[in-house]
């Protein structure tokens, strides 16, 4: 699809780079879309929730990546790539020597700038060195890990959320991070909307959408460049103002984004981000159903005879000796927390205290008072926990404001400024009385307040994961949120039997997506406890958690940041002290390659064996050993199944081919069991989970490898129908570009050329068009007599949405003979090939057809679009009839029956030499046996007869 047209429809597509001021995070999602709907897509498009990632560089970055590795050859460098932008989110490895850069800030900045300048084509394609200015030069409290970050500008304007940075350990750069916007737009206009004008337009927009709100403008920032990314991988970079507005009654806070050039409202988002996560609090035994305990009123403000005086950390209050018993008024405020009661006056505990008296503040039977006391005690407890893990965290310098007993039920949220907890109901407990809920919401406070600006980012799903981990770690229980529904069942579980994995379990709800990372962090904690003991293991895990909180920009970037924090010698290529535990935990959730970077190649058949290349990248870890390898197999018609053990021979896993009848289509799957308990399967395509292999002799009737122009050889392509018939279909011939976000290959299966939907050439983006049906149609392929079946055998790289939305079909003479699979609404089954796949299709040919016309069709709805068809090495082949098949053919005596011998002017001449049909069969005239009507098929015949006979 042409990029020029896409830019016109993407100005309202939002991505998480907007979140400088974080959205409010909550445990439930009320139904009001204005107050609790998150991002509002004004054009109906889909916001990218998380970056789609890949472990191999896209074609557009290959040259820059190879140059980087060539210039730094000793690093064993690896990267996590943003599938849509082609930029490496994190590059990590053995390191680049930068003497003195760890302790010396100036040297650290110079070293980071040098790497940025040298590899700008890799880290921010299309940008200039002058577009980046220093935004952070931070060294950890123990002065062992330095973070240097440069924020991106475009035409003098800040590019929101875009930066390049490095991590330096032991005077070596071991991680390079990039959230840069490739080819960021450089605004050159001289006349922009004023800040006041933007505020007025935002106010008018929101007042129209929410007439019941009492609105006021909080602040206006900008203009700045806003990189936008849709779920389809479509990007735009408008210059915008951000106008923050709030409503006192009913309460709400929004950001409205106004285009600084046109004045149009690009979109809006509410700061009250809700989801299905339900937070609850207990004071302090997690929730009221688990009983109560007395804890110190630590650092609480107390009015002593008219003067505010805080207690100490043990809850001890002192006054001058010899004084009479003072009048005390305990207030739920102090150095760490300030509690506000939304349902009435704030709690005041008034007492007359004798010396050495014990005063207990409590109201277990009054939920509204108990919620205030519980929130104060829980925040104090979590704050002290953070102080132990990360004493340098800025959030410890000021109290956290918590509003409790908010009107409503089953929720709590963080709005970027403070915490808010809802009252109880018959269904749900008052969330301020549930410790897990308070700890979770405080996790958002720590994330927002501690991250290194520009290096880390307040991504919603990332923050939900970090906050879930904090609550679970503090209770030593992966069942987070017990007591929320007035029982002891968890709201979310970080260690279920079926762990959440990336990217299969990425969902619209950031709480659900967050369980992928939260589960990985919990598994890492468990591994470290096993190896280090409880005290040392939990502290090590929590410090790695905090390192991720400081620097990660999204869930896929956490793995490299945790490795960098764990490193002790400035070289990630040789492993880290706890690298194998990290590897094990993150691989279990799809966030790292399998143990030691286990790599499997594509399957190959030959010599009665199936072979798969196997290798490791990176340090080998205990548990990474392959305990067993099997090749599961089945006949495609369901007649037989079985398995064959695979043996390691050199760098390959080898299995004998099962003995099956000729004419069968054998399907196989590789299954590996690792010592760690991890299971690995190939192929990696849930919609097509078996490799195919045709068993038996076939004869090529028509073949092409698409190296010559198919349009000159009789192939055609057309737009068949759609929501509109404007424009052209998107079938192209040439080298595949591997456009980021399309899923397309970066090279042909053989040679250099392929045919496919939108190969990404010129102004095209690699994805098929929405709302249209288009087709590639073959020339007429003549089929001589004597074939029991005619089959299509070719190589495909197909990426298409679930068949419930988009349909990819193969048609033979107008009849569909294959189509992509369909899943369900909750779990769509997208067909995403990650390698060139051999595909055999029975064309359902009958003698009466005498010719075959193929069509590869793709029908798309108006939503998500993928890369579509990519085709190479295509053959139409025939399987000869046997003598017995001739004999059983109704009405015919055999291969030379007079009734089966048509006139020579109606068919291809028969071969002059005796063949499977017998001498003289076909017709009575001598002639040359042809294998197809296309000149391309004839030209390739001599070679393909030898190459295409296959087992």
Asked if the model's pLDDT at residue 617 lies above 80, the reply is no
Cα distances (angstroms) measured from residue 51 to each of 37, 56, 89, 232: 21, 15, 9, 11
- What is the structure's pLDDT at 371? 95
- What is the structure's pLDDT at 190? 62
- CA-CA distance, 111 to 113, in Å (whole number)? 5
- What is the structure's pLDDT at 44? 59
- What is the structure's pLDDT at 29? 33
- What is the structure's pLDDT at 921? 33
Look at 951 and 543; give whichever has higher pLDDT.
543
Q: Residue 221 has what DSSP assignment?
A: E
Residues of 683-717 as b/e, b for ≥16 C-beta within 10 angstroms? bebebbebbbbbbeebbbbbbbbbbbebeebbbeb
- What is the structure's pLDDT at 34? 55
- What is the structure's pLDDT at 355? 62
- What is the structure's pLDDT at 739? 79
- CA-CA distance, 243 to 475, in Å (whole number)? 40
Asked if the model's pLDDT at residue 528 lies above 90, the reply is yes
Mean pLDDT of 267-296: 66
- What is the structure's pLDDT at 305? 73
Short-list 918, 851, 913, 912, CA closest to 878: 851
Look at 810 and 889; give whichever has higher pLDDT.
810
Asked if the model's pLDDT at residue 692 lies above 90, the reply is yes
- What is the structure's pLDDT at 5? 33
Q: Which H helix or E strand runs over 446?
A: helix 435-450
Look at 950 and 285; give whichever has higher pLDDT.
285
State the average pLDDT for the chain.
Answer: 82
Residue 95's pLDDT band, with cuts at 50, 70 and 90, is very high
**For the ranges 228-232, 438-442, 582-586, which has the lowest average pLDDT?**
228-232
Query: What's the length of the chain?
Result: 951
User: Dihedral sign, CA of 807, 808, 812, 817?
Assistant: negative
- What is the structure's pLDDT at 716? 95
**For the ranges 235-249, 266-280, 689-703, 878-892, which has the lowest average pLDDT?**
266-280
Other C-beta atoms closer than 10 Å to the C-beta of 162 total 29
Pairing of strands 272-273, 24-26: parallel
- CA-CA distance, 69 to 543, in Å (whole number)? 31
Mean pLDDT of 213-222: 91
Short-list 528, 682, 494, 676, CA closest to 594: 676
- CA-CA distance, 584 to 467, in Å (whole number)? 22
pLDDT in tens, 123-179: 999 899 999 999 999 999 889 999 999 999 988 899 999 999 999 999 999 999 999
**Reduced to 3 states, what is the DSSP secondary structure of residue 781?**
strand
Residue 249's pLDDT band, with cuts at 50, 70 and 90, is low
Asked if the model's pLDDT at residue 646 lies above 50, the reply is yes
Q: Which residues, in sequence order, are CB contacts of 104 under 8 Å at separation 6+?
A: none
- CA-CA distance, 97 to 173, in Å (whole number)? 7
**For the ranges 708-712, 763-767, 909-913, which has the lowest average pLDDT?**
909-913
Cα distances (angstroms) measured from residue 774 to each of 706, 716, 721, 758, 818: 19, 11, 7, 11, 16
pLDDT in tens, 10-37: 222 223 233 333 344 444 333 344 554 4
pLDDT in tens, 666-685: 999 999 888 777 788 899 89
Look at 515 and 946; give whichever has higher pLDDT.
515
Residues linked to residue 267 through DSSP beta bridges, in sequence order: 257
Phi/psi of residue 232, nearest 5 degrees:
-80, 0
Mean pLDDT of 41-51: 67
Could you tell me how far CA 287 lies from the centroid of its own chain?
A: 35
Mean pLDDT of 632-647: 93
Cis bond before residue 511 (omega within 30° of 0): no
Cα distances (angstroms) measured from residue 284 to each of 272, 300, 467: 27, 16, 18
Beta-strand (E) ranges in 636-786? 641-645, 647-649, 652-656, 665-674, 679-682, 691-694, 699-704, 716-722, 731-734, 754-757, 772-777, 781-782
Q: What is the DSSP string of 262-295?
A: T--EEEEEESEE--S------TTTSSGGG-----
Other C-beta atoms closer than 10 Å to the C-beta of 278 total 26
Mean pLDDT of 601-613: 89
Mean pLDDT of 254-278: 74
pLDDT in tens, 486-523: 999 999 999 999 899 888 788 778 899 999 999 999 99
Mean pLDDT of 559-574: 94
- What is the structure's pLDDT at 913? 35
Residue 906's pLDDT band, with cuts at 50, 70 and 90, is very low
Mean pLDDT of 60-65: 90
Q: Residue 881 has what DSSP assignment?
A: P
Look at 766 and 178; give whichever has higher pLDDT.
178
Mean pLDDT of 554-580: 93
Residue 926's pLDDT band, with cuts at 50, 70 and 90, is very low
- What is the structure's pLDDT at 284? 57
Look at 44 and 445; give whichever has higher pLDDT.
445
């Amino acid at each position: 699809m042409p990029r020029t047209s896409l830019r016109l429809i993407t100005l309202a597509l939002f991505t998480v780079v907007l979140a400088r001021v974080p959205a409010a995070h909550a445990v439930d999602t009320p139904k009001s879309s204005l107050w609790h709907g998150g991002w509002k897509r004004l054009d109906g498009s889909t916001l990218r929730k998380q970056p789609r990632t890949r472990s191999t560089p896209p074609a557009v970055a290959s040259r820059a990546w190879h140059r980087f590795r060539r210039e730094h050859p000793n690093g064993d460098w690896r990267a996590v790539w943003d599938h849509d932008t082609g930029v490496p989110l994190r590059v990590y490895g053995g390191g680049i020597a930068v003497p003195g850069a760890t302790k010396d800030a100036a040297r650290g900045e110079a070293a980071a700038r040098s790497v940025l300048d040298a590899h700008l084509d890799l880290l921010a394609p299309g940008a200039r060195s002058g577009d980046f200015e220093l935004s952070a030069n931070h060294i950890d409290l123990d002065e062992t890990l330095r973070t240097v970050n440069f924020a991106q500008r475009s035409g003098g304007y800040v590019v929101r959320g875009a930066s390049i940075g490095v991590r330096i350990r032991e005077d070596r750069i071991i991680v390079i991070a990039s959230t840069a916007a490739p080819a960021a737009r450089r605004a050159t206009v001289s006349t922009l909307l004023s800040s006041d004008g933007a505020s007025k337009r935002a106010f008018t927009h929101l007042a129209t959408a929410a007439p019941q709100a009492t609105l006021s403008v909080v602040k206006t920032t900008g203009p700045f460049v806003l990189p936008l990314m849709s779920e389809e991988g479509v990007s735009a970079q408008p210059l915008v103002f951000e106008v923050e507005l709030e409503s006192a009654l009913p309460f709400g806070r929004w950001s409205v984004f106004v285009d600084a050039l046109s004045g149009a409202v690009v979109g809006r988002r509410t700061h009250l981000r809700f989801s299905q996560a339900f937070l609850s609090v207990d004071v302090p035994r997690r929730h009221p159903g688990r009983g109560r305990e007395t804890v110190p009123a630590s650092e609480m403000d107390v009015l002593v005879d008219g003067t505010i005086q805080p207690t100490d950390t043990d809850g001890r209050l002192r006054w001058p000796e010899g004084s009479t018993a003072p009048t005390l008024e305990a207030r739920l405020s102090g150095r760490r927390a300030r509690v506000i009661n939304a349902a009435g006056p704030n709690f005041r505990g008034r007492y007359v205290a004798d010396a050495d008296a014990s005063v207990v503040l409590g109201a277990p039977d009054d939920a509204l008072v108990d919620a205030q006391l519980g929130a104060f005690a829980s925040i104090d407890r979590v704050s002290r926990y953070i102080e132990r893990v990360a004493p340098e965290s800025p959030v410890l310098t000021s109290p956290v404001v918590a509003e409790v007993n908010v009107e409503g039920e089953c929720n709590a949220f963080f709005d970027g400024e403070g915490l808010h907890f809802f009252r109880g109901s018959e269904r749900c407990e008052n969330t301020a009385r549930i410790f897990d809920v308070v700890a979770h919401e405080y996790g958002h406070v720590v994330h927002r307040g501690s991250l290194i600006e520009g290096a880390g980012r307040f991504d919603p799903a990332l923050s939900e994961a970090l906050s879930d981990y904090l609550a679970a770690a503090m209770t030593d229980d992966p069942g987070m949120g017990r007591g929320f529904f007035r029982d002891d069942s968890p709201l979310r579980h970080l260690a279920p039997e079926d762990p959440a994995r990336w990217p299969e379990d990425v969902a619209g709800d950031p709480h659900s997506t967050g369980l992928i990372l939260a589960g990985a962090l919990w598994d890492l904690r468990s591994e470290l406890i096993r190896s280090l003991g409880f005290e040392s293991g939990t502290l090590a895990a929590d410090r790695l958690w905090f390192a991720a909180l400081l620097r990660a920009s999204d869930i896929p970037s956490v793995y490299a940041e945790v490795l960098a924090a764990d490193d002790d010698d400035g070289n990630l290529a040789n492993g880290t002290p706890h690298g194998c535990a990290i590897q094990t935990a993150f691989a279990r959730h799809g966030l790292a390659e399998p143990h030691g970077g286990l790599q499997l190649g594509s399957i190959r058949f030959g010599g009665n064996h199936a072979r798969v290349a196997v290798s490791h990248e990176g340090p080998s870890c205990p548990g990474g050993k392959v305990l067993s390898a099997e090749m599961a197999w089945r006949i495609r018609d369901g007649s037989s199944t079985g398995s064959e053990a695979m043996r390691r021979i050199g760098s390959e896993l080898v299995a004998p081919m099962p003995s099956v009848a000729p004419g069968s289509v054998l399907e196989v799957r590789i299954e590996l069991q690792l010592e760690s308990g991890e299971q690995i399967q190939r192929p990696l395509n849930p919609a097509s989970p078996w490799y195919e292999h045709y068993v038996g002799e076939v004869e090529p009737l028509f073949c092409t490898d698409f190296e010559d122009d198919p349009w000159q050889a009789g192939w055609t392509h057309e737009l068949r129908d759609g929501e509109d018939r404007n424009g052209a279909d998107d079938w192209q011939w040439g080298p595949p570009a591997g456009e980021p976000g399309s899923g397309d290959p970066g090279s042909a299966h053989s040679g250099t050329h392929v045919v496919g939907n939108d190969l990404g050439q010129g102004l095209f983006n690699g994805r098929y068009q929405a709302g249209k049906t288009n087709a590639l149609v073959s020339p007429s392929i003549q089929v001589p007599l004597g074939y029991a079946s005619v089959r299509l055998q070719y190589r495909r790289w197909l990426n298409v949405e679930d068949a419930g939305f988009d349909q990819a079909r193969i048609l033979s003479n107008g009849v569909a003979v294959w189509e992509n699979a369909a899943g369900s609404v909750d779990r769509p089954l997208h067909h995403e090939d990650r390698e060139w796949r051999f595909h055999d299709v029975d064309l359902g040919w009958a003698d009466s057809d005498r010719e075959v016309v193929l069509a590869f069709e793709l029908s798309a709805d108006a939503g998500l679009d993928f890369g579509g068809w990519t085709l190479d090495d295509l053959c139409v082949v025939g399987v000869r009839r046997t003598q017995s098949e001739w004999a059983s053919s109704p009405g015919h005596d055999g291969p030379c029956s007079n009734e089966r011998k048509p006139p020579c002017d109606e068919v291809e001449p028969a071969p002059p030499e005796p063949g499977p049909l017998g001498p003289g069969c076909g017709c009575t005239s001598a002639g040359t046996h042809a294998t197809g009507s296309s000149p391309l098929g004839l030209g390739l015949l001599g070679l393909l007869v030898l190459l295409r006979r296959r087992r």
